[in-house]
Structure 1
Amino acid sequence: MREVNFSIPNVNKASVGITTALYDRRALDCTSTLPLINSLNHLAYLTTSSARIRDILTVDGGIERLVCILKQGRSKDMMSTWKWNLAFQCVVNIGVRGTENVRTRVVEADMVPVIATILDNYIKIVERCREKADEAKQKQIHDHHRPRTHEHRSAPKVALPASSSAYLPHDSSTTCTVALPGPVCCCRCCFGRYRQVE
């Protein structure tokens, strides 16, 4: 069965919603996530632009309903996180842009513990990131001061095929056993001083 919500059958609406032109307190009591997100999205605009809507929310219990949504917490579900963020944005708009009486009502709606929890979680995350950065820095310093062993590696020997030909200096008194990888010179002036080794 569908969740119980306020509906308007004559206009084919499954649940009452808040629009940029109409505010209805019953829309905040919706138990379905999707229409509630739609209403909170429009309510965030209304709380930013309309002082009358901010005053109405302090009277009809809208702030208390928003605080209840915030106290439910966030989960890994994207829709639940979106709903929480929109409710928090609405309360922030009411508290920041409202008058002194409106701000007093926000405090009376038990919003302070929610803000304290958010700040406490933020401080914990900052400390955790700082600890990870310190550990990485200490590891880097430890690796920098560690003695390094230098290994001397001999150059690899390249074996040339026996059938490869090269040009060597023509000298009868010396015998060279290293074959050069290719012809050294091919000009006519040097050709007489070089012979091909087979």
Structure 2
Amino acid sequence: MIANHIHDALGQVRRLQGLILEKRKFTGYSGTARMLGGAVALFGCVLMAFHVEGYFAHLIGWAGILAVALAVNYGALVLWFVQLPDRERTLRTISPALDAIPPLAVGAVFTAALLLRGLPDLLFGAWMSLYGLAHMTCRSALPRENAWLGIYYLSCGAVFLLWPGTSFAQPLPAGAVFLLGEWFGGIVFYRHKAKAMEDYEDE
């Protein structure tokens, strides 16, 4: 009898812990901004596939895609941050966004290294793999579906790295990967933020 009570109490504690962790999930990312970034990636890839020639020109095109995606996503993050109450406006509040910086910084180093060694065809795989790692590093602070998205990007990165026919001058497959991933991630963030707002209003 006592064992049953202890078991029930432990179950209630675990459920309470789960609810607390769920409420503490990071809500600073914008689902709409992320989906827009994915659309920009595919649009840029279509332009490059039919109107751009040469590896250097494609590299400039991808730099433009990255610039737009960063501006849209981190612009939305900054807007969310400045609207927080003063007591919540700390570096700890945006720690999930900061945790993603090291893998992305390594991506910049990999990009330079592969270009210097004349291996641009490995760039897509390297980008996707490190982007997948960025998702995994902050998976505890984001919706659980985000970890699956990390696995998706890691898997796609492995395929692009190992597939012998991958070419940096053929951007459409990579654009499709990023569009699908960013739209899925955008939907996840949008639904998560909407649920967080509902919970906040119910309190």
TM-score norm. by structure 1 comes to 0.25
Structure (1 or 2) with the larger CA radius of gyration: 1
TM-score norm. by structure 2 comes to 0.25
Relative to its length, the structure with more strand (as a share) is: 1
Higher relative contact order (CA 8 A, sep 6+): 2
